[in-house]
């Protein structure tokens, strides 16, 4: 894949197992391997260990209420506030310590340091402003913001007054914003005028306003002025407030954190599923916060004196759990970087790590594959010796990329945690504990203590080691989603029906199915193979094929479309769209552009098709089902095997020829 491959030492290339570095183990937050047995023997009370990391205003009565599976409740009767746990409790000991170190994309701009006291003050002012605007407990506040410090401020302000937030990734389109605001019945939006991307000041507010035009109810908006003189000359209307003015109006305000019931909603996060409609994943206050606090401590080894750097975007679950809530709950310094790792050049990320002496780096395999492609001369030019731990998330990492990361970024001195989890799981599920277990590149590791993950066949029976099957989680856990917003039925259908006895009231009969394929080895290490549903993983971003298809068939002149994922060197998967045009519609480059634009408008540039292939027909089974696997094989140039079960086998050659010609 890159020049570096030839340079990997033979020793590393052949090595399949790596012990955690002794110096790391010595200082690790968790280093006793008995933890696995202890948690198993003491389940579910083992989770008191996570709950005890939080400050409660009222103690809980019961660790787990499993009376009505799969609608589990955790730490019932307890009361707490997430913002108080991330801020107030740290003030006395570390009020002057940076809570957030923010680095903007332009190099000539001053970076922002918010100490715990600064952050506390901003959050209180914002909470007071939101309240005055009318935001009440349980009102959903939508945030459509890039990586600017006002985003975590707004999230924590919402948590403070008991208003769940719903953050929409800034790269999503206006239409995607409107869909999410309508689905959540959200009357409030916090957004900004724009942000920098590869040196350009992007206009974000036009997109937000366009989205608001399609929101079916009245809305009130707060707008952060990110761009200053580089802005696009927007005028705010009567329903729109300027962030700075609002906060200035409430300067010095202090708002008592609202006591939230353990099971009260902390936030909603919309994610892609098999149907066109995004799923509103509901996370609760105690279960979620205890989960991300515990895993930030045990897996990411975060300590208050660290400067921890996760390069994800807060618009995705990784940023929620492991930039905002987990790290701040532990009282550490968490970093935020606005831009891309190659702006103004490919040294940027390594410069930031060197300057801030970052202690952890948590990133995605797609980024690591880019770094490999660029070459190790960039990290080699920087002192990265402050790093103590490396992490990856979002998609499978192949052993070659793992070893490159381990060698060139970690200098063979940092454990690498390959963390498998999902928006729905709230936080880490399958990974090694870096101070305990050996690492096997390519395999995420065993399930965390207290979790029961099994690989099963279609009958739900455990498969033998080495065989591929479906990944399942056999017991509930505190960080799990509680339901899909306003849609309990879909929650049961999507995650439980496949492997559970849905008539049973016994927890043992309920099995969570994350819709990933996996295999396990003799040591219980799990290798995640990827999604088994119609969801693509493009650069670690989750996209529903149905969402993309419905955008394409909405274009006038398109008769039918099928979207699949093809292998991609850097992105992991890329979007391939096979399109049948209506009679009389030219299969022109202009029409192809129109289709690409329609996808960008409906979802965002991340869903942009790599290829749009015009075809007279789609390969279908005799019962009329589109053979997606076959389309994937064609996209990848793989052997397509037997096509005799197709109704129209001749179409396969046609499509292959068209694709070859492109």
Q: Give contact residues for ligand PRX (rule: CB under 6 A).
A: 271, 317-318, 393-396, 418-423, 444, 514, 516, 528, 530-531, 537, 542
Residue nearest to ligand PRX (CB): 423
Of 20 and 396, CB closest to ligand PRX: 396
SS3 441: coil
Helix-helix angle 589-602:545-553, to 10 degrees: 130
- Taking the C-alpha atoms of residue 649 and residue 251, their distance in angstroms, rounded to an integer, is 70
Which of 350, 366, 367 lies closest to 358, judged by CA? 350
SS3 459: coil
Least separation in angstroms between residue 389's CB and ligand PRX is 15
Of 106 and 530, CB closest to ligand PRX: 530
Of 264 and 573, CB closest to ligand PRX: 573
Measure the CA angle with vertex 370, ends 365 and 371; round to 5°.
Answer: 95
Least separation in angstroms between residue 221's CB and ligand PRX is 27
Tokens of 4: 């570096």
Least separation in angstroms between residue 5's CB and ligand PRX is 21
Least separation in angstroms between residue 533's CB and ligand PRX is 9
Residue with tokens 């409609």: 277
Which of 311, 367, 310, 315 lies closest to 339, judged by CA? 311
- Concatenated DSSP letters for 398-439? -HHHHHHIIIIITTT-S-EEEEB--TTT-S--B---TTTS-B
SS3 192: strand
Least separation in angstroms between residue 479's CB and ligand PRX is 12
Of 271 and 545, CB closest to ligand PRX: 271
Of 118 and 277, CB closest to ligand PRX: 277
Tokens of 523: 């040591």
Of 131 and 470, CB closest to ligand PRX: 470
Measure the CA angle with vertex 596, ends 105 and 175; round to 5°.
Answer: 70
Tokens of 354: 């060197």
Handedness of CA 633, 634, 638, 642 (dihedral sign): positive
- Taking the C-alpha atoms of residue 229 and residue 220, their distance in angstroms, rounded to an integer, is 25
Of 60 and 420, CB closest to ligand PRX: 420
- Taking the C-alpha atoms of residue 269 and residue 424, their distance in angstroms, rounded to an integer, is 9
Least separation in angstroms between residue 444's CB and ligand PRX is 5
Least separation in angstroms between residue 445's CB and ligand PRX is 9
Tokens of 433: 């504990």
> Which region, left, alpha or beta, applies to residue 332 given φ > 0 means left and ψ of -120 to 50 means alpha?
beta
Of 378 and 420, CB closest to ligand PRX: 420
Of 81 and 422, CB closest to ligand PRX: 422
Q: How far is CA 411 from CA 6, 300, 335, in A?
A: 18, 18, 22
Of 318 and 332, CB closest to ligand PRX: 318
With a CB cutoff of 8 Å and minimum separation 6, the contacts of 477 are 47, 291, 425, 429, 450, 451
Of 271 and 329, CB closest to ligand PRX: 271
Least separation in angstroms between residue 371's CB and ligand PRX is 17
Least separation in angstroms between residue 396's CB and ligand PRX is 4
With contact defined as beta carbons under 8 Å apart, do 482 and 282 qualify?
yes
Of 78 and 391, CB closest to ligand PRX: 391
Handedness of CA 646, 647, 653, 656 (dihedral sign): negative
Tokens of 436: 């305990």
Least separation in angstroms between residue 447's CB and ligand PRX is 13
Residue with tokens 């994350």: 514
The DSSP symbol for 256 reads P
Least separation in angstroms between residue 377's CB and ligand PRX is 28
């Amino acid at each position: 894949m890159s020049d570096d491959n030839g340079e990997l030492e033979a020793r590393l290339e052949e090595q399949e197992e790596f012990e955690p570095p002794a110096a790391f183990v010595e200082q690790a937050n968790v280093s006793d391997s008995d933890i696995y047995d202890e948690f198993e023997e003491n389940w579910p009370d083992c989770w008191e260990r996570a709950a005890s990391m939080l400050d409660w205003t009222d103690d809980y009565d019961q660790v787990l209420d499993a009376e009505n599976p799969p609608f589990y409740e955790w730490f019932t009767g307890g009361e707490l506030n997430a913002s108080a746990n991330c801020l107030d409790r740290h003030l006395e000991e570390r009020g002057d310590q940076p809570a957030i170190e923010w680095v903007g994309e332009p190099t000539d701009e001053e970076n922002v340091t918010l100490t715990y006291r600064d952050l506390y003050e901003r959050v209180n002012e914002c909470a007071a402003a939101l309240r005055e605007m009318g935001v009440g407990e349980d009102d959903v506040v939508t945030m459509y913001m890039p990586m600017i410090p006002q985003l975590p401020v707004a999230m924590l302000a919402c948590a403070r007054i008991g208003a769940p937030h719903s953050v929409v990734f800034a790269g999503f389109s206006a239409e995607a914003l409107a869909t999410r605001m309508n689905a959540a019945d959200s009357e409030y939006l916090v957004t900004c005028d724009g942000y920098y991307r590869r040196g350009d000041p992007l206009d974000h507010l036009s997109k937000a306003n366009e989205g608001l035009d399609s929101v079916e109810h009245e809305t009130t908006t707060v707008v952060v002025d990110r761009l200053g003189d580089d802005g696009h000359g927007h005028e705010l209307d009567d329903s729109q407030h300027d962030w700075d003015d609002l906060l200035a109006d409430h300067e010095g305000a202090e708002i008592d954190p609202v006591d939230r019931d353990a099971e009260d909603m902390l936030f909603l996060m919309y994610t892609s599923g098999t149907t066109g409609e995004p799923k509103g994943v509901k996370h609760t206050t105690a279960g979620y916060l205890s989960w991300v606090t515990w895993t930030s401590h045990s897996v990411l080894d975060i300590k208050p004196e660290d400067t921890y750097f996760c390069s994800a975007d807060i618009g995705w679950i990784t940023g929620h759990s492991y930039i905002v809530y987990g790290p701040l709950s532990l009282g550490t310094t968490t970093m935020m970087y606005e831009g891309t790792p190659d702006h103004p050049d490919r040294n940027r990320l390594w410069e930031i790590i060197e300057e801030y002496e970052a202690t952890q780096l948590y990133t995605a395999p797609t980024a690591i594959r880019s770094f490999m492609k660029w070459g190790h001369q960039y990290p080699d030019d920087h002192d990265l010796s402050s790093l103590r731990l490396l992490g990856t998330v979002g998609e499978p990492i192949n052993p070659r990329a793992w070893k490159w990361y381990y060698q060139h970024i970690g200098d063979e001195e940092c454990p690498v945690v390959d963390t498998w989890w999902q928006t729905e799981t709230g936080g880490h599920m399958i990974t090694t504990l870096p101070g305990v277990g050996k690492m096997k590149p390519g395999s995420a590791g065993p399930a965390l203590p207290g979790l029961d993950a099994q690989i099963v066949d279609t009958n739900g029976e455990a498969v033998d080691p080495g065989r591929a099957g479906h990944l399942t989680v056999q017991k509930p856990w505190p960080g799990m989603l509680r339901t899909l917003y306003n849609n309990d039925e879909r929650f049961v259908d999507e995650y439980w029906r496949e492997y559970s006895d849905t008539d049973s009231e016994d927890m043992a009969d309920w099995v969570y199915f994350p819709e990933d394929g996996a295999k396990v080895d003799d040591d219980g290490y799990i290798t995640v193979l990827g999604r088994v549903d119609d969801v693509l993983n493009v650069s670690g971003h989750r996209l529903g094929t149905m969402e993309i298809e419905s955008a394409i068939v909405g274009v006038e002149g398109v008769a039918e479309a099928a979207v699949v994922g093809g292998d991609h060197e850097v992105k992991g998967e890329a979007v391939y769209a096979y399109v049948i045009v209506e009679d009389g519609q030219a299969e022109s480059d202009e029409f192809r552009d129109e289709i690409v634009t329609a996808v960008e408008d409906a979802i965002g540039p991340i869903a942009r098709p790599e290829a749009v292939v015009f075809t007279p027909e789609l390969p279908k089974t005799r019962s009329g089902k589109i053979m997606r696997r076959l389309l994937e094989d064609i996209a990848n140039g793989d052997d397509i095997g037997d096509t005799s079960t197709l109704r129209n086998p001749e179409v396969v050659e046609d499509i292959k020829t068209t694709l070859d010609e492109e």
